[in-house]
A = this chain, B = another copy of it.
Amino acid sequence: MFNFNIEFFGYFAAILTTLAFLPQLIKTLRTKKAEDVSLLTLIMFLTGVFSWIIYGYKISSTPILSANIITFILNLLILIFKITFSKY
């Protein structure tokens, strides 16, 4: 029961910190701008998340691997759209 609670917080945390970037992606697509979103934050965060993917692969952790792959894709799309929209 105690273990269940610990695991629950871990999964809840992983799901939230992963899906949190979906509203940012939707907002960026809807407003067609992400001027206020820091480019350096996106680059540092993507590099960090990519390192988590390598770490998750090396220690064979499916939760770390899967959560970070989704986070990476969402943030890469935010970066791509930020750059695309900034040209106009």
Which positions in A face B, CB cutoff 8 Å? 5-6, 9-10, 12-24, 26-28, 31, 33-38, 40-42, 44-45, 47-49, 51-52, 54-55, 58-59
Q: Which of B6, B19, B55 contacts A10 (CB 8 A)?
A: B55
Q: Could you list 11 further interchain pairs (A-B, Cβ under 8 angstroms) beyond the known A6-B59, A20-B44, A33-B36?
A: A5-B58, A6-B55, A9-B58, A10-B55, A13-B49, A13-B52, A16-B51, A17-B45, A21-B41, A21-B45, A24-B38
Q: Which of B5, B15, B36 contacts A36 (CB 8 A)?
A: B36
The docked-state distance in angstroms from the alpha carbon of A36 to that of B26 is 11
The docked-state distance in angstroms from the alpha carbon of A18 to that of B41 is 10
Separation in Å of the A21 CB from the closest CB of chain B?
Answer: 6
